[in-house]
């Protein structure tokens, strides 16, 4: 396995953020410390990732979407997605479905279970969600949107938030109409991904529709989509006038990104995390995954998260980590995974070469 010649990532000093940039975020009666939130991502924002992102400065981390179908609440997947801890910060639970009463019942169940916020998913473009007339498919039926929002808001005493896209397609961006329906129903915060349902994740996010939505309602709006740097976050906030930023795929392999953006927006001088800090966080994340899922599932789920770390490192450091990634994905136990990360850190930092025992473990 080749040793990449890697230098430390460049450090970017932050310029002072605009005085118009929000310093906190209000959701109903709840006050968040800063305006940067980690997006809910199915199969991604499990409890270990939410905890680490909040530890590193995200004001809130929204959990993976939960089905509103009560028959599936006791499944292994739903049970794991409902796990929460004090380290995870405010408990925002996202629900998905298409039937107003079913969603209302799901909201009530989760609020009774301790949710601080109920978030409704009307933004997911996945085929398996949309074919059930849920997620972003609902944007095509404004009457049903109103029925769902009114039912859920009436069912609970905690703030209800909503995540949408800019519309159905480029020819039918009805995000402003949906936003007005949401405000009328009592939604306390709206997140808008700058793509339509038809776009899925193709092309570049656009923010003009988000600007139009911000101008059309009096509830806080979070801008989401293609925000991968502090500078981009500031530019989007200044363009849209949004109350805050939601970070999604940009945090894959970079759990520190929401916190770095929050610090930048506060006007503080910020730097990208050093190589040592990156590996420290990844080792902590790896340990948390093993503890949460157990040895068998933890090893396998770690391949996904650490794989994103390798992908991010390739982009940030302009080096090829593909062979390390392949080797990591072939490992079958927690100790070997930790050893590989430690060995790679030694290589990247130019520290002492791995010991013979470490080499033997990697070759096993």
Instruction: List CB contacts of 169: < 8 A, sequence separation 6 or more.
Output: 196, 197, 198, 199
Domain boundary among 219, 243, 265: 265
At 328, is the pLDDT very low, low, confident or very high (cuts 50, 70, 90)?
Answer: very high
Into how many domains does the chain fold? 2
Catalytic pick from 53, 124, 130, 348?
124
Residue 12 lies in a domain: no
Residue 312 tokens read as: 């991010």
What's residue 178's pLDDT? 96
Q: In CATH, what number is assigned to the domain containing residue 80?
A: 3.20.20.70
C-alpha dist (Å) from residue 160 to 92, 209, 289 = 9, 22, 30
Out of 55-64, 128-137, 230-239, pick the least confident. Answer: 128-137
pTM: predicted TM-score of the whole model, two decimal places: 0.88
Mean pLDDT of 38-62: 96
Chain CA centroid to CA 292, Å: 19
The separation between the first and the last C-alpha atoms of the chain, rounded to the nearest angstrom, is: 13
pLDDT 10s digits, 186-240: 999 999 999 998 888 888 999 999 999 999 999 999 999 999 999 999 999 999 9
Higher pLDDT: 337 or 14? It is: 337
Higher pLDDT: 10 or 264? It is: 264
Are residues 155 and 248 located together in one domain of the fold? yes
Residue 340 lies in a domain: yes
- Give residue 137's domain range: 25-265
Q: Compute the mean pLDDT over every residue in the chain, rounded to the nearest whole number.
A: 87
Residue 87 lies in a domain: yes
What's residue 68's pLDDT? 76
Question: What are 224's strand-pairing partners?
Answer: 193, 246
> Are 161 and 118 within 8 A, CB to CB?
yes
Are residues 89 and 236 located together in one domain of the fold? yes
Residue 124 catalytic? yes
* Cα three-residue angle 178-58-307, rounded to 5 degrees: 95
Instruction: State yes or no: pLDDT of 353 exceeds 70.
Output: no
Are residues 220 and 282 located together in one domain of the fold? no
What's residue 232's pLDDT? 96
What's residue 226's pLDDT? 95
Instruction: State yes or no: pLDDT of 131 exceeds 90.
Output: no
pLDDT 10s digits, 75-116: 666 677 778 888 999 999 999 998 999 999 999 999 999 999
Higher pLDDT: 348 or 248? It is: 248
Residue 3 lies in a domain: no
Instruction: State yes or no: pLDDT of 174 exceeds 50.
Output: yes
Instruction: State yes or no: pLDDT of 130 exceeds 70.
Output: no
What's residue 250's pLDDT? 95
How many percent of the chain have pLDDT more than 70? 85
pLDDT 10s digits, 232-258: 999 999 999 999 999 999 999 999 999
Q: Give the chain's largest Cα–Cα span.
A: 67
At 70, is the pLDDT very low, low, confident or very high (cuts 50, 70, 90)?
Answer: low
Are residues 220 and 312 located together in one domain of the fold? no
C-alpha dist (Å) from residue 52 to 262, 263, 264, 327 = 15, 16, 19, 25
At 18, is the pLDDT very low, low, confident or very high (cuts 50, 70, 90)?
Answer: low
Are residues 46 and 159 located together in one domain of the fold? yes
């Amino acid at each position: 396995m080749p040793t990449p010649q890697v230098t430390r990532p460049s450090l970017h000093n932050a310029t002072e953020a605009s005085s118009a940039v929000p310093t906190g975020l209000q959701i109903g009666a709840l006050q968040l410390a800063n305006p940067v939130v980690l997006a809910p991502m199915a199969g991604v924002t499990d409890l270990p990732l939410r905890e680490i992102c909040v530890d590193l400065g995200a004001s809130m981390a929204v959990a993976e979407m939960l089905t509103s179908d009560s028959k599936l609440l006791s499944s292994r997947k739903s049970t794991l997605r409902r796990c929460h801890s004090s380290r995870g910060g405010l408990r925002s639970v996202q629900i998905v479905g298409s039937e107003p009463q079913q969603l209302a019942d799901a909201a009530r169940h989760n609020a009774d279970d301790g949710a601080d916020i109920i978030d409704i998913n009307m933004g997911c473009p996945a085929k398996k969600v949309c074919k059930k007339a849920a997620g972003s498919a609902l944007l095509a039926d404004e009457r049903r949107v109103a029925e769902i929002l009114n039912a859920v808001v009436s069912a609970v005493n905690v703030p209800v938030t909503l995540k949408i896209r800019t519309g159905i397609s480029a020819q039918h961006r009805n995000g402003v109409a949906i936003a007005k329906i949401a405000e009328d129903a009592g939604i306390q915060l709206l997140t808008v991904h700058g793509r339509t349902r038809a776009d899925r994740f193709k092309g570049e996010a656009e923010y003009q529709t988000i600007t139009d939505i911000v101008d059309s309602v009096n509830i806080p709006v979070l801008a989401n989509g293609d925000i991968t740097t502090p500078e981009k976050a500031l530019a989007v906030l200044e363009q849209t006038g949004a109350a805050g930023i939601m970070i999604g795929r940009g945090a894959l392999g970079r759990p520190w990104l929401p916190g770095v953006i929050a610090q930048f927006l506060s006007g503080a001088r910020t730097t990208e995390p050093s190589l040592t800090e990156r590996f420290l966080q990844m080792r902590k994340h790896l340990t948390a995954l093993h503890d949460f899922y157990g040895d068998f599932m933890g090893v396998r789920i770690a391949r996904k998260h650490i794989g994103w770390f390798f992908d991010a490192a390739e982009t940030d450091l302009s080096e090829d980590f593909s062979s390390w990634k392949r080797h990591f994905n072939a490992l079958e136990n927690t100790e070997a995974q930790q050893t590989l990360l430690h060995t790679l850190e030694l290589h990247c930092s130019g520290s002492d070469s791995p010991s013979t025992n470490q080499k033997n473990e990697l070759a096993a």
